[in-house]
Amino acid sequence: MKNEKLFVLLHKNINSLLMSKIHSAWLFMCKHKYILTVIIIALIVGVVDEDSFLNRHPRRVRIDMLQQEIANYKRQFTEADNKIHELESNSKAVEKIARERYHMKRPNEDVFVFDEE
């Protein structure tokens, strides 16, 4: 009988202690609801969201890499465009490319090709 009373008394004390903790947490949340809302939104935007700050950094690195690639392709395009313009306007340039790349020669010339290894 004494054990039952002790158990009931202990159960009531634990229950009231737990309820007081929950009640004080609820009061804290009600008192600071705007701060908690800002913190929750900052966590969602900063960490959880698809466009979060954690996801933006790899995307920014990828964008920078692609912009460098675009600049490289533009440079290659300009070089090729200049070379085409030179070939269209200068017959000596056509002859130079024919001799260097395709080993062409004039009828009474000898061509020697050396491999650089």
Which pLDDT score is estimated for 14?
72
pTM, to two decimals = 0.50
Of 59 and 90, the one with more pLDDT: 59
Q: How far is CA 87 from CA 29, 47, 73, 102, 106, in A?
A: 77, 56, 21, 15, 19
* Domain locations along the chain: 1-31, 34-107
pLDDT, tens digit (0-9, with 9 covering 90-100), for 63-102 = 999 999 999 999 999 999 998 898 888 888 888 887 778 7
What's the rounded Cα separation, in Å, for the pair 22 and 12?
15
> What confidence score (pLDDT) does residue 3 get?
66
32-43 mean pLDDT = 89
